[in-house]
Amino acid sequence: MNLTAPQDLLLVMLGITVLAPLAAAGWMASGLSNRSPRTGAVVAMSLSLLASLAVAWQWHNGHGVPVEFGDRMGGGAFIDIDGVTAVLLPYMALVGLGIVIVAPKRFLDAPATARTLAGVGATLALFSTAHPLVLVALSIVTVLPTWWSVRSTPGGSPTARILALAMVPALVCLTAGTLLMLCDPPWEKDCGMVGATGGWLVAAAVLLRKGIIPVHSWYPALFCAAPMSTSLVATMPQVASYLAVRLLIGHADHGQGVAVELIVLSQLALVTAVYGAALALVQRELRGLIGMLAMSQSALVLAGLSGKLPMELSGAFCVWISSGLALTGIGLVAWALESRAGPLSLETHQGRFRDSPMLAAFFLLFGLACIGLPGTLSFVADDLIVSGSLDEQLYAGLLVIAATVLSGIAVMRAWFMIFGGPEAVDGPRHQILPRERLALTVLLATLFVLGINPAPLVRVLDRAAGHLLGVPVQADGHGPAEPPAHP
C-alpha cells in the first residue's frame, strides 16, 4: 500500500484517536497506575479529541472526498473516512472527555474508568470503519463494557439481564443478517431471497439496539440503574444508527436509495419518538426523564435516516450531534446534582435553585438546546429534519413536531420540580466545581458555535448524505464528486 504524506498523517491521527482511550483503559485495568484515574482519563480523552479534530481537518483539506484504506467488502472498507466519520469522531471524543471530567470521585475508580474508556475507544473504532464484518465484531465489543458495568453496579443484576435480553438477540440478528447480505448482496441486480432476509435481520438488530417500540424497555432501565457514565457512553453514540447508515442506506435499489427495511423502521421510530416524549412527562425521577428523552431523540435520528433527500438525511445527522451533546450535558448536570443531594424526585418541588444556581442554568440551557433553542445546533437540525419530513410525508413532520413539543414540556416540568419550590434557608450550599464548569461550558459552547455558524458542518453532512444516497457532490456543492480514494 503506497500512502502519500497527507494520507499517512491521516492514519496516524486516526490511530491516536482510537488507541489513546484504549491504551489508558488497559493501563488502568492492569492496576499499575498510581495516579488518579481522572488524570489519566482526561489526558487520554484530550489527546483523542485533538487527534480526531486533526482527522476532520485533514479530511476536509483533502476536498472532502471519502478515503478508504485496507480490504474492501460489501460496499465498505476496513478504514473508511468520510463526512460521517469526520463529524462523529470529534463528537464522541468530546462526549467521553466531558464524562471523565464531570464524573463524581466515588464513581471514578480505576475499574469503572477503564470500562468507560474501553467503551469510548471501541465506539471510536466502530465509527472509523464501514467493513461489514468489522462492524459486527466491534458492535459486539461495544456491548461488553456496558453490560459489565451494569452487572458490577450494586443492584444492577436485573438491569443487566434486561440489557442482555435485548443485546444478545440484536447481535445474533446483526451477525446472521450481515453474513446473508454478503452472500447475496441486496445492492446487486441479481439479489434474491437470501439477501432480502439478511436485510430484515439487520433491521431487527437495529430495532433492538436502538430501543424502538416494542423492544424499548432496556433504554429507560439502563438510565435508572446504571452509572450515568455507562448510560451516556452506551446511548449517545447511537451505534445502531451508524450500523443503519453503513449497512442499509445505499444498499437498496442496486446501490442507490433507501432500503425498504429502513423505511419500516422509520415509521416505528416516529411513534417511539412521540411515545418517549409523552412518557417523559410522567416520570417520577430525573433519571427516568433523561432516559425517555434520550429514547425519543434517538428515535428521531433513525426516522430521519430513511429520508430520500440529502437535506433530510443531513438533518438526521445534525439531530444526532445536537441531541447527543445536549443530553450529555443534561445527564452530567443530573449526575452532579445527585452527587450532592442523592436521587432527585420529580413528584415534589426540590427547591435546588438556591443550592446550585449555576447547575440550574446549565440544566435549563441544555434542556432547551435539546428541543430547538434558537442559536443552538438543534434549531438548525429541527428545521432540516422537519422541512424534509413535511416535504416527503405530512404526518411524519407533524409527529416530529409533536415529539419536540412534548419533550419541551417535559424539560420545563423537570426544571421547575428540581429547582423550584420552597428553599431550605439553613441548608447546605454547593458551589459548582471548576472542572464541572469547564466541561459543561465547553459542551454548551459547542452547541452554540455550531448553531450560530452551521454552514461548515451542514456542508460536510450534505456531501456525506449525497454520497450515501448515490448523488455525491463536490466540496463546493456542485456536480458529481470524485470517486473514493483507494491507496
pTM for the model stands at 0.90
Alpha-carbon distance of 244 to 241, in angstroms, equals: 5
**Residues paired with residue 79 on neighbouring β-strands, in sequence order:** 69
**Residues paired with residue 73 on neighbouring β-strands, in sequence order:** 76
Alpha-carbon distance of 161 to 158, in angstroms, equals: 5
Alpha-carbon distance of 196 to 126, in angstroms, equals: 24
Q: Which residues contact 257 (CB under 8 A, 6 or more apart)?
A: 250, 308, 469, 470
Output the pLDDT for position 125: 95
Q: Is residue 93 a contact partner of residue 17, using CB atoms and an 8 Å limit? A: yes
Output the pLDDT for position 44: 94
Q: Is residue 231 a contact partner of residue 331, using CB atoms and an 8 Å limit? A: yes
Q: Which residues contact 123 (CB under 8 A, 6 or more apart)?
A: 92, 142, 233, 237, 239
Output the pLDDT for position 205: 93
Q: Which residues contact 400 (CB under 8 A, 6 or more apart)?
A: 270, 273, 300, 303, 382, 385, 386, 389
Output the pLDDT for position 439: 94
Helix (H) or strand (E) holding 76: strand 76-81
Alpha-carbon distance of 381 to 457, in angstroms, equals: 11
Concatenating the DSSP letter of every residue in 18-65 gives HHHHHHHHHHHHHT---S-HHHHHHHHHHHHHHHHHHHHHHHHHTTT-
With both helix axes pointing from N to C terminus, report the angle between 83-102 and 455-468 in degrees, rounded to the nearest 10. Answer: 130
Q: Where are the domains of the chain?
A: 258-475
Output the pLDDT for position 31: 74
CA distances from 353 to 45, 201, 330, 345, 423 (A): 32, 49, 16, 15, 8
End-to-end distance of the chain based on CA atoms, in angstroms? Answer: 6
In the block, cell 424539560 appears at: 411
User: Buried (b) or exposed (e) across 245-269, using 16+ Cβ within 10 A?
Assistant: bbbbbbbbeeeebbbbbbbebbebb
Residue 10: phi, psi to the nearest 5? -60, -45
Nearest residue to 481 (alpha-carbon basis) of 453, 460, 458, 454: 460
Taking only the tens of pLDDT, the chain with its 487 residues reads: 455 666 778 888 999 999 999 999 999 888 776 678 888 899 999 999 999 999 988 887 776 677 777 665 556 778 888 888 999 999 999 999 999 999 988 888 888 899 999 999 999 999 999 888 999 999 999 999 999 988 888 888 898 999 999 999 999 999 999 988 888 776 666 667 877 788 889 999 999 999 898 888 888 889 988 889 999 999 999 999 999 888 887 554 444 445 678 888 888 999 999 999 999 999 999 999 999 999 999 998 988 887 777 777 888 899 999 999 999 999 999 999 888 877 888 888 888 887 788 999 999 999 999 888 889 998 888 888 777 666 667 788 788 889 999 999 999 999 999 988 777 555 556 678 899 999 999 999 999 999 999 888 888 888 888 777 776 554 444 444 444 444 4
Alpha-carbon distance of 372 to 444, in angstroms, equals: 13
Alpha helices, DSSP H only, in 307-454? 310-341, 357-370, 377-392, 394-419, 434-452
